[in-house]
């Protein structure tokens, strides 16, 4: 770094950017020497910065090449670049001196108008450019740290909510499964009650317990996935997959829930629906989640429709339509956000994680997921998957 004169006496302030190329030292020496020759009655202050050591400073001045000589003061800022900086200095130096003289005259006139004497005028000090850039860098770093802190605090609060909701939501299926198992236990352990435990009732109790345990498993899976954060990588093992069989399998697994609310479900899936290229387990999670939501929000006696179509030569579309309360227009995009829940849903079981997870899974398959809905007229959730090409 070069200080030909004290900064407080130098109205022309320059910043020279170089790098670590072998000829950089000679370029610096030539520019310093030439500046001394040009100085005249107006002093200058030259600061040298290596772009490899101060990349943030180079970014601040939007530097695109080295060597580069930047006139910091007087304003306006001006940049000279290339191997011919010395000839460029010869051209611009007279104009820079005129700018300084103009500023000095203006300051003198203003001082005289305010009643100050000429010897009362003090040349303001110029702070180091690198010092100023370091302050900017520090300010930006503080801003980034604040953002990181806010994100971490939001994540901690989200996990606290998950734990609180988990304690509440897991209690219902755990209680239901426990009652079913205890009923079986009392029946088989008590000869007087054994006659009441018919094969049909035994089968119903076992199915009920199994359904509740599956619900608990889904909750825990969603919780663990959410705890890993939105950036967690999904484990994908795509393979040729027949969607008709998978959809019918999920419908069958949820039959007890449908019966409990006296709901009807229809399926319209063509026999010639082409196979897709997808991860069976992950797509099953999507279908289960969407159907589970449809059952939850469709009133007793309502109807749910599951359909599929070969939308294009590239995509297959699955649609799940319910006769529930629908979704307000302003919330149709938000429902796919992590932990977003509609106001009406706070009395319902769940964490607001399901649709966000569905979106991540479908996007990981290069598909799309969206909803069509009207208030009090039900909702239709759709998603697409790529057709398998042999």
- Percent of the chain residues past pLDDT 90, beyond the cut: 23
Among the three residues 126, 155, 182, which one is the final residue of a domain in this structure?
Answer: 126
Total domains, the chain: 3
Query: What pLDDT was estimated at residue 120?
Result: 45
- Cross-strand pairs, 369: 383
Q: Quick one: 222 and 243 in the same domain?
A: no
Kindly indicate the confidence band of residue 165, based on its pLDDT and cuts at 50, 70 and 90. Answer: low
For 363-382, how does the pLDDT look when each residue is reduced to its tens digit (9 = 90+)?
A: 999 999 999 987 778 899 99
Angle between helical axes of 280-297 and 199-227 (0-180°, round to 10):
110
Structural domain harbouring 249: 239-254+263-386
- In 10 A of CB 333, how many CB atoms? 11
The Cα 150–Cα 163 span in angstroms is 20
Asked whether the predicted pLDDT for residue 291 surpasses 90, the reply is yes
The Cα 96–Cα 117 span in angstroms is 26
Question: What average pLDDT does the structure give for the chain?
Answer: 79
Taken in order 343, 346, 352, 355, the sign of the CA dihedral is negative
Kindly state the tokens that stand for 74. Answer: 């007087």
The residue that leads in pLDDT, 310 or 166, is 310
Asked whether the predicted pLDDT for residue 348 surpasses 60, the reply is no
Give a yes or no: residue 221 inside a domain.
yes
Q: Quick one: 122 and 154 in the same domain?
A: no
Q: Quick one: 178 and 201 in the same domain?
A: yes
Q: Quick one: 73 and 42 in the same domain?
A: yes
- DSSP 8-state secondary structure symbol assigned to residue 333: T
Kindly indicate the confidence band of residue 135, based on its pLDDT and cuts at 50, 70 and 90. Answer: low
Q: Quick one: 289 and 375 in the same domain?
A: yes
Asked whether the predicted pLDDT for residue 251 surpasses 50, the reply is yes
The Cα 179–Cα 173 span in angstroms is 10
Q: Quick one: 269 and 376 in the same domain?
A: yes
Q: Quick one: 368 and 249 in the same domain?
A: yes
Asked whether the predicted pLDDT for residue 3 surpasses 70, the reply is no
Query: What pLDDT was estimated at residue 263?
Result: 94
Give a yes or no: residue 134 inside a domain.
no
Taken in order 303, 308, 309, 312, the sign of the CA dihedral is positive
Kindly state the tokens that stand for 19. Answer: 């790098």
What CATH number corresponds to the domain at position 168?
1.10.287
Give a yes or no: residue 79 inside a domain.
yes
Residue 318, classed as helix, strand or coil, is strand
Asked whether the predicted pLDDT for residue 383 surpasses 90, the reply is yes
What CATH number corresponds to the domain at position 63?
3.40.30.10
Average pLDDT over residues 193-207: 79
User: Smallest Cα–Cα separation from 12: which of 108, 107, 96, 123?
Assistant: 96
Q: Quick one: 185 and 93 in the same domain?
A: no
Query: What pLDDT was estimated at residue 8?
Result: 41
Average pLDDT over residues 155-180: 72
Kindly list the distances between the CA atom of residue 228 and the CA atoms of 113, 221, 225, 233, 274, in Å, as whole numbers in the listed order.
Answer: 68, 11, 5, 9, 34
For 253-282, how does the pLDDT look when each residue is reduced to its tens digit (9 = 90+)?
A: 888 889 989 999 999 999 999 999 999 988
Angle value at C-alpha 330, between 162 and 233, nearest 5 degrees: 45
Q: Quick one: 366 and 277 in the same domain?
A: yes
Q: Quick one: 120 and 53 in the same domain?
A: yes
For 46-83, how does the pLDDT look when each residue is reduced to its tens digit (9 = 90+)?
A: 888 888 877 777 777 888 888 999 988 888 889 999 88
Kindly list the distances between the CA atom of residue 369 and the CA atoms of 51, 257, 343, 350, 380, in Å, as whole numbers in the listed order.
Answer: 47, 25, 22, 20, 11
The Cα 39–Cα 94 span in angstroms is 10
Q: Quick one: 146 and 277 in the same domain?
A: no
Give a yes or no: residue 357 inside a domain.
yes
What CATH number corresponds to the domain at position 377?
3.30.565.10
For 96-131, how does the pLDDT look when each residue is reduced to its tens digit (9 = 90+)?
A: 888 888 887 877 777 677 765 544 444 444 455 556
Kindly indicate the confidence band of residue 234, based on its pLDDT and cuts at 50, 70 and 90. Answer: low
DSSP assignments along 274-311, one per residue:
PPEEE-HHHHHHHHHHHHHHHHHHSPTT-EEEEEEE--
Query: What pLDDT was estimated at residue 275?
Result: 94
User: CA 256: distance to chain centroid?
Assistant: 38
Lowest mean pLDDT among 59-63, 158-162, 180-184, 206-210: 158-162
Q: Quick one: 218 and 276 in the same domain?
A: no
Angle value at C-alpha 364, between 359 and 365, nearest 5 degrees: 100
Question: What pTM was estimated for this model as a whole?
Answer: 0.48
- Whether residue 305 contacts residue 320, with contact meaning beta carbons closer than 8 Å, is answered with yes
């Amino acid at each position: 770094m070069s200080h030909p004169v004290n900064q407080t006496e130098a109205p022309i302030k320059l910043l020279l950017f170089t790098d670590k190329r072998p000829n950089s030292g000679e370029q610096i020496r030539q520019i310093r020497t030439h500046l001394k020759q040009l100085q005249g009655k107006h002093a200058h202050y030259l600061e040298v910065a290596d772009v490899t050591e101060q990349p943030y400073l180079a970014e601040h001045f939007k530097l695109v090449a080295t060597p580069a000589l930047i006139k910091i003061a007087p304003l306006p800022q001006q940049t000279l670049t290339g191997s011919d900086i010395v000839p460029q200095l010869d051209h611009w130096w007279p104009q820079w001196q005129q700018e300084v003289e103009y500023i000095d005259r203006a300051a003198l006139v203003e001082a005289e108008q305010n009643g100050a004497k000429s010897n009362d005028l003090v040349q303001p000090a110029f702070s180091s450019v690198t010092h100023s850039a370091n302050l900017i860098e520090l300010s930006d770093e503080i801003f980034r740290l604040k953002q990181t802190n806010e994100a971490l605090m939001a994540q901690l609060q989200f996990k606290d909510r998950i734990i609180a909701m988990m304690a509440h939501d897991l209690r219902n299926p755990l209680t239901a499964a426990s009652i079913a198992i205890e009923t079986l236990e009392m029946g088989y352990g008590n000869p007087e009650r054994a006659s009441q435990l018919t094969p049909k009732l035994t089968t119903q109790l076992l199915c009920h317990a199994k359904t509740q345990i599956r619900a608990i498993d889904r909750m825990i899976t969603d919780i663990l996935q959410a705890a890993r954060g939105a950036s967690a990588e999904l484990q994908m093992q795509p393979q040729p997959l027949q969607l008709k069989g998978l959809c019918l399998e999920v419908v069958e697994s949820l039959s007890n829930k449908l019966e409990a609310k006296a709901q009807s479900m229809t399926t319209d899936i063509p026999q010639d629906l082409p196979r897709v290229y997808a991860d069976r387990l992950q797509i099953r999670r999507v279908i289960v989640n969407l159907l589970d939501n449809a059952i939850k929000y469709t009133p007793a006696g309502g109807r749910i429709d599951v359909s599929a179509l070969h939308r294009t030569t590239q995509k297959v579309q699955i649609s799940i339509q319910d006769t529930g309360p629908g979704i307000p227009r302003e919330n149709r995009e938000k429902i796919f956000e992590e932990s977003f829940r509609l106001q009406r849903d706070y009395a319902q079981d769940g964490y607001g994680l399901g649709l966000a997870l569905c979106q991540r899974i479908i996007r990981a398959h290069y598909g799309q997921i969206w909803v069509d809905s009207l208030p009090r007229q039900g909702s239709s959730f759709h998603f697409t998957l790529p057709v398998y090409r042999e």
